Amino acid sequence: MNRQADRIMPAATARALTARLAWSGLAVLLATNACVAGVLSQADLKRVEDLRPMFAGLMGDLVQTSKRPDISAVDADCVKSTIQNLVEISQELSSFEYLITIEKDLTNVSENDPTRDVVKFAVEQSTNILTSQRKKIAQLPDQCARSPLALAKAQQALQVVDATTGILSSIRSRL
């Protein structure tokens, strides 16, 4: 019974975080979507919009997987570790959200406006966060690397991180 409680409590916490992360974790990117319409192409805007459902789907899948009664405790722990890494990414990125949303004020300012530098800094820092967190997700403990399920879930998380990094890099190149 205690083992089941140990598995339910983190899963409940992860479920609660899933909703929060889907909205706030990628708020940086979605805020950028609303703010840089003059900087990004329509194709880039579409790519940014596609990140929300991709991230929400990943988090939902990870939470559901971690709750499955048919997976081993090791697999559940590995999936929960991936969830925790994504939560950490979300929390760290949210600190730069405000700086990136300043971009909306750039529509009527010159190319040399200092606001552009602030936004560029926030995008660069967000990219750095994603890069360092990607390394954490990729460096799986041995027991997770040996598990096909845990490895597949970590690979899914890496794909989302890579897509997010690609979008931010695209934005950064235009600032």
Question: In this structure, is residue 96 part of a structural domain?
Answer: yes
pLDDT at 169 over 50: yes
Supply the range of the domain harboring residue 167. Answer: 42-174
Question: In this structure, is residue 2 part of a structural domain?
Answer: no
Based on the structure, what is the number of domains in the chain?
Answer: 1
Query: What CA–CA distances, in Å, run from 161 to 38, 144, 158?
Result: 25, 19, 5
To the nearest whole number, what is the mean pLDDT of the chain?
Answer: 75
Q: Of the ranges 12-21, 25-34, 64-73, 102-111, which is most confident?
A: 64-73
Kindly indicate the confidence band of residue 22, based on its pLDDT and cuts at 50, 70 and 90. very low
Please tell me whether the overall predicted TM-score, pTM, comes out greater than 0.85 for this model: no
